Structure 1
C-alpha cells in the first residue's frame, strides 16, 4: 500500500472535481479512515502529510492515539455509545455522529470547563432504516435544542449515502445535505455556525466534493485494509 501515491492521486482527483464546479481544493479536508489499519500504517499516513485521522472505536483508537504521541487531528466518525463518551473526551477534536440529545448531554457533562467539541449532526438523508441520524424534517428542532449545551459546537452536518456501483446515484443525497446545511447556516446561530459538510467516502467522494463536501472520509482508497 503506497499511501504517498494514493494521496497524490486522491488530491489530483479532488482538484479536478473542484475545478469542474469552481471550488478551491484547499477547502476540502481529507480524513484518513484508519479503523482497519495498524498503528504503523496510521503513522505512515501522518508522515505523508495527512493531518486528519478518523476512527470509530473508543478503545482501539485510544491505543493508536497514545502510541503516536497525540499526533494529528482526531475525528470520531462512527456511532458513539453514551457510556463510551468518557473514553474520547480530550482526544477527539471532532465528532461526526451527533444524533441524539442524550449523547449531547453526556458530552456536555464530561467536557471540562472551557472545553468544546466540534460536532457534525448526522442526518439520515437516504431514509434507510439501517442508517443512524436525524430525519431531515426534525433537524431544525434538534439544532435548536442543542443550544442548551454550551460545550458543543455544531460545525456542520454529516450523512452516509448508500453504496452504489455508480457513485453518481449518491448526488441527490449529497445535494440535499448541502441544502439543509445552507438552511441552518443562514440562521447564524452562535452554537451552530454549521459551515462544514462531512460526506463522501472512498467510492463516492468525488461526487460529494462536487456537491460541497468540506470533509471527505477515505479509508480503503487511501490507507487500505489490513
Structure 2
C-alpha cells in the first residue's frame, strides 16, 4: 500500500465514523505523525493531499521543518522537555502536550520573544500510567487557570493518550471522559480558554475516538508504516 492509498483509506474511515456519530467529517482533522520518518515521506504525503503533520521529538522537528519545502501545517504531539521548547518557537501551529505549568511558562517566554501567542492543548493522563506524560484529572482546573493567565499562550482544548488496548472499545471510556472534561472546562468560561479541540485517537483506535468527539486524530503507523525505534 502506498502513502496515498493509506491516507485515502484513513479519511474514508474517518468519514464513516462521523456518519455513525452524526458528525460533519469536516470537524475532524487528520494529523499525520511523521516522527522518525524522512522529509521525503512528508513531501509524498503532501502531494497525496495531506497538509497537517505531527512530530514528537523537538530536535528532529526543528531539522525536518528546514528540510520540508511544502507549505504544511506542523503540530508538536510528543512529550516536551522545557529546555527543548526553543526548537519549536514560532514553527508549530499547535502544541498538544502541555501537562505542567513550568512547561507552559517556558512556551510563554519563547513565544513572547516573537510577540505572538502559542496555541496549546492541555494533556491529561486519564489512565494514571506512570510511564506516560499528562496531568492528572484532578489537577485540570487549576492548571488551566494558571496557564490561561500567561500572556503569550492560548489554550485550545485537551489531549490524551489512553492505555493501549487491543480492542478499541476498551478505550472508549477514556475518550468519552476527555470530552466530558472539556465540556466542564468550557462551562467555566475562563478568559482565553477554548475547548474547540480534542486530540485523541491513534492508528488502532481513531474511529472510536471520532465517534466520541475527537477533532484531531494522530495517525502515524497506518500512514507511513512501522516507525524506526529511537
Q: How does 1:181-196 map to 2 (within 5 A)?
A: 181-196=182-197
Query: Against the structure 1 CA distance between its residues 101 and 43, is the aligned structure 2 distance closer, same or farther, given a 3 Å change threshold?
Result: same
Deviations 1:10-54 (A, max 9, x none): 111111111111000110000000003111111111111111110
Q: How does 1:26-105 map to 2 (within 5 A)?
A: 26-69=26-69, 71-105=71-105
Q: How far apart in 2 are the matches of 1:69 and 1:6?
A: 22
Deviation for aligned residue 1:188: 2.4
8 Å CA contact retained: 2:59, 2:87: yes
Q: What SS does the corresponding residue of 1:171 show, helix, strand or coil?
A: helix
Structure 1 residue ranges without an equivalent (≥5): none
Deviation for aligned residue 1:69: 2.9
In the superposition, the TM-score normalised over structure 1's length comes to 0.96
Deviation for aligned residue 1:113: 4.8
Deviation for aligned residue 1:150: 1.2
Deviation for aligned residue 1:214: 0.1
In the superposition, the TM-score normalised over structure 2's length comes to 0.94
Deviations 1:63-96 (A, max 9, x none): 2111113621111111111011111101111101
Q: How far apart in 1 are the matches of 2:201 and 2:89?
A: 26
8 Å CA contact retained: 1:65, 1:71: no
Count of equivalent residues: 226
Q: How far apart in 2 are the matches of 1:142 and 1:156?
A: 13
Q: How far apart in 2 are the matches of 1:144 and 1:60?
A: 32
Deviations 1:102-140 (A, max 9, x none): 111111111135311111100011111112111111101
Structure 2 residue ranges without an equivalent (≥5): none
Structure 1 counterpart of 2:212: 211
Q: How does 1:114-133 map to 2 (within 5 A)?
A: 114-133=115-134
8 Å CA contact retained: 1:200, 1:206: yes
Deviation for aligned residue 1:222: 1.1
Structure 2 counterpart of 1:154: 155
Q: CA RMSD in A?
A: 1.2
